[in-house]
Structure 1
Amino acid sequence: MRKRAREYSGAAQLPADCARTGASPGLRLNSPELGAAFLGGTTLASLAAAGRVQELRPDALTHASTAFRGSQEPFHPGGWAFPAH
Structure 2
Amino acid sequence: MESKFLEVEVLSYNKPGQPPRPVSFRFMMGEEMFKGKVVKVKDMKLDNRMGNKIFEYLCDTVIEGNGSTVKIGYEKDSMKWYLKSL
Please report the TM-score for the alignment, with normalisation by the length of structure 2.
0.23
Tell me which structure has the larger Cα radius of gyration. Answer: 1
By percentage of residues, which structure has more strand? 2
Please report the TM-score for the alignment, with normalisation by the length of structure 1.
0.23
By percentage of residues, which structure has more helix? 1
